[in-house]
A and B are shown apart, each in its own frame.
Chain A
């Protein structure tokens, strides 16, 4: 498989609803799998985020509004955005990627709301199966600055 050189900055995306259900998962560049089912991985991811979110808020020396935003390893960075309605967007990227939260916000505003919330066929409790959403998500990602950089 020939990988597009440009796409290397964006790894994978998880979307959870407020109950922790994995609504959507997709990957652009993931060279190694976790070895567990997607469902199991989703559960652990959600559990980790939940604990992390609570604990970073607890130990904060100040009152914070947003709390946990991202973490970085030597190979990837995880970016987290939660909407007031409890939807959680998690995007893993290259560690050099900048302003990823802006991308997540736009993804919610322009892709999720338009093609998930406003799709009457989609039941809000179900995982997202809409091909239209997938294709809009892909074209959205392809025009972001981190996709176009490098």
Chain B
């Protein structure tokens, strides 16, 4: 893995720790982290798709997210993408990078939400900039696997 990614990983840890210390009252509150991810996703996708052909439909955008986007950031593509063709998409990453140093199983499972919410925001921000309003949540049962649920809001 490139060294630059190690630094990014440590920065991410610090941001998680900081947001966590700020929202001590409610441990489950990860909205600030999600928002930081959102701001980054919104801006990075703009730079990524500058010289990219326009996407024809929603599914193309999601595919782009799962392949090129994901592998640029997490060194691997999403393992699986499922959709019900009605605005619900599920991304399966069996070895999610921000969990892969923490556990292979359910030890430390209670910490998992903190380490996935930046990425939920990242996805939501990227899609928002592409014109898709959605809600993104993550589900972790057995680390380092993670599922991201994307629910597109129909306007």
How large, as a class, is the contact surface on chain A?
A: 10 to 19
What are 10 A-B contacts with C-beta separation under 8 Å? A114-B101, A118-B101, A120-B102, A120-B115, A121-B102, A130-B108, A131-B103, A132-B101, A132-B103, A132-B105
Instruction: Give complex CA distance A131, B9 in Å.
Output: 21
Instruction: Give complex CA distance A118, B9 in Å.
Output: 8
B101 / chain A contacts, CB cutoff of 8 Å: 114-115, 118-120, 132
Instruction: Give complex CA distance A130, B105 in Å.
Output: 11
The smallest C-beta distance from A109 to any residue of chain B, in angstroms, reads 13
Say yes or no for B13: interface residue by CB 8 A criterion. Answer: yes
The smallest C-beta distance from B63 to any residue of chain A, in angstroms, reads 31
B residues whose Cβ falls under 8 Å from a Cβ of A: 6, 9-10, 13, 16-17, 101-105, 107-108, 111, 115
A residues whose Cβ falls under 8 Å from a Cβ of B: 114-115, 118-121, 130-132, 135
Residue in A closest to B103 when the chains form the complex, CB atoms: A132
A120 / chain B contacts, CB cutoff of 8 Å: 13, 16-17, 101-102, 115
